[in-house]
Amino acid sequence: MPKHLLSIALVCTAGSLFSQPQMDRILGNIQARQIGPATTSGRISAIDAVHRSPEIIYVGTAGGGVWKTVSGGAVFLPVFDDYCQSIGKVTIDQNHPDTVWVGAGEPWVRNSVSVGDGIYRTTNGGKAWEHVGLKNTERISDILIHPSSPNTVFVAAQGALWNPNPERGVFKTSDGGKTWEKILYIDEHTGAADLDIDPQNPDILYATLWSHRRYPDFFDSGLNGNSGVYKSTDGGKSWNKIHQGLPKETLGRMAIAVAPGNGNVIYLSVECKSKEGKGINLSTDQGASWAKVTNEFNATVRPFYFSHLVADPKNDSIVMKAGLAMIVSENRGKSWRPMNQAVHSDVHAIWIDPNNTKHVIIGTDGGVYESFDRGSSFKMFMNLPVGQFYHVGVDMEIPFNVYGGLQDNGSWYAPSRKPGGIANSDWKTTFGGDGFWSFPHPSNHNIVFAEYQGGNLVRFDKKTGLAKEIRPFPSESEPKFRFNWNAPIHISPNNPNRLYFGSQFLFMSEDMGDS
C-alpha cells in the first residue's frame, strides 16, 4: 500500500474508534493535520448555557465530544477530548456554574449511533473531568440537578439499543456521584427517555420510560408495551403512572417539559401507531389529565430521533418542539409555526435563555444556531468542526485527493495539500443526503461514485458536474430491494469498470453502473 494511503487509513480508522492519547500510541510519530471540510459542522446532541452569563455555552456532540465557548460562540474549544466522544446530555449546575455534568452516549438512536460509558463531572469549568459512575448504561438521555441540593442528581439512562440490559431507568445520587440508586425501573428492555422537575416543588418529578429495540432491518418502538409516563411526589421514592387522557394503545418514545414558571402546565409528545393518538399533549393539572393539542408533521416525525420539548421559562403558553424543523407555539399548542427554514434540518437540542426568552440556541445535524427573535431568524456558529465521516477514500493523483461522505451533509472531495493551505472553496460536493461511500474510479479520476442513504448511488463526473443515478431497481417479478442505511459498494481490483453493490442481494455491473 502506498505510504499516503496507509497514513490516511490509519488516521481515519483510529479517529473513529479511539481518543487522542490512544491515537498517539497507535500512530507514533505520524502527525495528523486538519484539512476540513469546514463548509459544514455536524450533529449536535445537547446544549446548555450559564443562565447569568449566557456567553458561556457547552455543546455536546454526537461524535466530537464536548465543546465550550466563553465568548458567545466567537471561539469554541474542545474540553472533552480524552473521554467518550458520543454525548447524550450536558447539564450545568446553575448555582455553581463551574460544575458541569455530562452523560455519555447519544440518545437520538438512529441506526448509526455510538455508545457511551456513563456520567462525568467537572468542578472547574471543563479543565478536568471525573468519571462518576453508571458505566454500563450506554446512553444518557437526561440529567437533572436538584435546585437546592447540588449533590442530588437524577439521571435518565436510556440503556442499550441493540440488546437488553438492566443498566437503564432513572437513577439518583445524593452524594455527587459517589453512589447511585436505581429509583425507577421496569425491565431490561425499557429505558428512561426524558425527565423533568416541578420548579416550585422539586420533590415532584416526571419521567418518560421507553421500551425499544433496534434490529438490523427493523426498529421496534414500544417493544413489550411498557413505555409510559410516571410521576413522583416524594423525590423519586415512589412513582405512579399518569396516563389519563393518553391513547389506550402501545406507546413509544415520549418527551416531557414542565413550564418553569408554572408547574401545573406540562407538555408531552406522544408516539403511538394510530394517527389519532400521536402528537403533543397538554396538561394543566400537573399531569392528572392530558389533552392532545396537535399532531402536525414535526410534532410526530421520527420520534426516536426527534423527542425534545422545551417550555418557555417565563411564559407557560410558549413551547418549542424539536423535529425535522423546530416548531414553536405561543398559545399552548393551539397553533404552531416553523423556525427559519434556512437552518439545517434535524433539530435535537434547544436552549432558551431564562433572562431573555427570545434568545434561543439550537443544535441540529448541521451544527449550532442562535436566534434573538424566538426562531424567526438564526445565525450559525461556523467554528464547530464536528462533522462525522462514514467513510474516506483517496485517489492516486499528486497531490492525492481525499473523498468522503458526511452524516447528513453530503459527499465531498478536496486536495490533500495546497500551497497556502486548503480553503473551504477547495472542497467540492458530489452528492447530497447522508454521505456514505465516496471514491474515485481507479483509472479515470474525473469519475466519482457517491452514495446516500437507502441505496441511492450515483456516478458523478467532475468535468460536467453531472450525477447519473445508477441504483438498481427491481423488475415487476422481483421482490423489493432492501438496502442498508449505509449500503456496501466495492470496485473490482481486476476491472476498474466493475462494481459490486449490496442489498439483500449482491449486484454486479461491468459498465460503471449503467446496467
CA atoms of 458 and 470, how far apart (whole Å): 5
As for how many domains the chain has, the answer is 3
Last-in-domain residue among 241, 276, 291: 241
Domain-located, residue 473: yes
Phi-psi region of 365 (alpha: psi -120 to 50; beta: other; left: phi over 0): alpha
Instruction: Cite the DSSP H helix spans in 263-396.
Output: 297-300
User: What tens digit of pLDDT does each residue of 68-127 get?
Assistant: 999 999 999 999 999 999 999 999 999 999 999 999 999 999 988 999 999 999 999 999
- Residues 1 and 122 both lie in one domain: no
Host domain of residue 495: 388-509
User: What tens digit of pLDDT does each residue of 51-72 get?
Assistant: 999 999 999 999 999 999 999 9
Q: CA-based diameter of the chain, in Å?
A: 71
Q: Provide the pLDDT for residue 23.
A: 67
- Per-residue pLDDT band for 16 (boundaries 50, 70, 90) equals very low
Domain-located, residue 223: yes
Phi-psi region of 144 (alpha: psi -120 to 50; beta: other; left: phi over 0): beta
- Residues 20 and 166 both lie in one domain: no
Smallest CA-to-CA distance from 142 within 197, 180, 91, 67 is with: 91
User: What tens digit of pLDDT does each residue of 213-268 get?
Assistant: 999 878 999 999 999 999 999 999 999 999 999 999 999 999 999 999 999 999 99
Smallest CA-to-CA distance from 467 within 489, 487, 438 is with: 438
- Residues 28 and 99 both lie in one domain: no
C-alpha neighbours within 13 Å on the C-beta side of residue 278: 19
- Residues 1 and 102 both lie in one domain: no
CA torsion sign for 124, 125, 127, 132 is positive
User: What tens digit of pLDDT does each residue of 179-214 get?
Assistant: 999 999 999 999 999 999 999 999 999 999 999 999
- Residues 398 and 504 both lie in one domain: yes
User: What tens digit of pLDDT does each residue of 268-326 get?
Assistant: 999 999 999 999 999 999 999 999 999 999 999 999 999 999 999 999 999 999 999 99
Q: Provide the pLDDT for residue 7.
A: 41
Provide mean pLDDT across the span 145-163.
97
DSSP code, position 209: E
C-alpha neighbours within 13 Å on the C-beta side of residue 361: 24
Question: Residue type at 169?
Answer: G
- Residues 17 and 161 both lie in one domain: no
Domain-located, residue 373: no
Provide mean pLDDT across the span 326-331.
98
pTM of the model: 0.93
Q: Provide the pLDDT for residue 112.
A: 86
Domain-located, residue 49: no
**Cell numbers at 380, concatenated:** 450559525
Task: State the Cα torsion 93-145-229-375 to the nearest 10°.
Answer: -10
Q: Provide the pLDDT for residue 12.
A: 43
Question: Residue type at 414?
Answer: A
User: What tens digit of pLDDT does each residue of 475-508 get?
Assistant: 999 999 999 989 999 999 999 999 999 999 999 9
DSSP3 helix / strand / coil % (the chain, rounded to 5): 5, 35, 55
- Residues 21 and 143 both lie in one domain: no
3-state DSSP call for residue 240? strand
Beta strands in 176-221 (DSSP E): 181-184, 190-197, 205-215, 218-221
Count of other CB atoms within 10 angstroms of residue 19: 16
In this predicted structure, the answer to whether residue 3 has a pLDDT above a threshold of 80 is: no
Domain-located, residue 205: yes
β-strand partners of 209: 192, 228
- Residues 204 and 112 both lie in one domain: yes
Strand (E) or helix (H) holding 25: helix 20-27
Q: Which of 1-5, 226-230, 283-287, 332-336 has the lowest mean pLDDT?
A: 1-5
C-alpha neighbours within 13 Å on the C-beta side of residue 39: 17
- Per-residue pLDDT band for 174 (boundaries 50, 70, 90) equals very high
3-state DSSP call for residue 22? helix
Q: Provide the pLDDT for residue 13.
A: 39
- The DSSP-derived string for 284-337 is SSTTS--EEEE--HHHHS-TTT---EEE-SS-TT-EEE-SSS-EEESSTTSS-E
**Cell numbers at 9, concatenated:** 487509513
CATH number where 440 lies: 2.130.10.10
CA distances in angstroms from 423 to 77, 294, 391, 400, listed in the order given? 21, 45, 21, 16
Domain-located, residue 361: no
- Residues 111 and 224 both lie in one domain: yes
Quickly tell me which residue has 400521536 as its cell: 278
Question: CA Rg, the chain, in Å?
Answer: 24
Count of other CB atoms within 10 angstroms of residue 68: 19
Provide mean pLDDT across the span 428-455.
93
Domain-located, residue 122: yes
Domain-located, residue 113: yes
Last-in-domain residue among 241, 271, 290: 241
**Cell numbers at 118, concatenated:** 456513563
CATH number where 201 lies: 2.120.10.30
Last-in-domain residue among 241, 271, 287: 241
Q: What percent of the chain is modeled with pLDDT above 70?
A: 95
β-strand partners of 101: 91, 121
- Per-residue pLDDT band for 20 (boundaries 50, 70, 90) equals low
Q: Which residue has the higher pLDDT, 443 or 14?
A: 443
Q: Provide the pLDDT for residue 217.
A: 78
- Residues 125 and 21 both lie in one domain: no
CA atoms of 27 and 20, how far apart (whole Å): 10
Q: Provide the pLDDT for residue 507.
A: 98
- Residues 87 and 231 both lie in one domain: yes
Smallest CA-to-CA distance from 363 within 387, 379, 339, 347 is with: 347
**Is the separation of the CB atoms in 76 and 59 below 8 Å?**
yes
Exposure string over 95-131, b if 16+ CB within 10 A, otherwise e? eebebbbbbbbbbbbbbbbbbbbbbbbbeebbeebeb
β-strand partners of 196: 206
Provide mean pLDDT across the span 36-46.
91
β-strand partners of 186: none
Q: Provide the pLDDT for residue 18.
A: 54
- Residues 418 and 503 both lie in one domain: yes
Q: Provide the pLDDT for residue 21.
A: 66
User: What tens digit of pLDDT does each residue of 360-389 get?
Assistant: 999 999 999 999 999 999 999 999 999 999
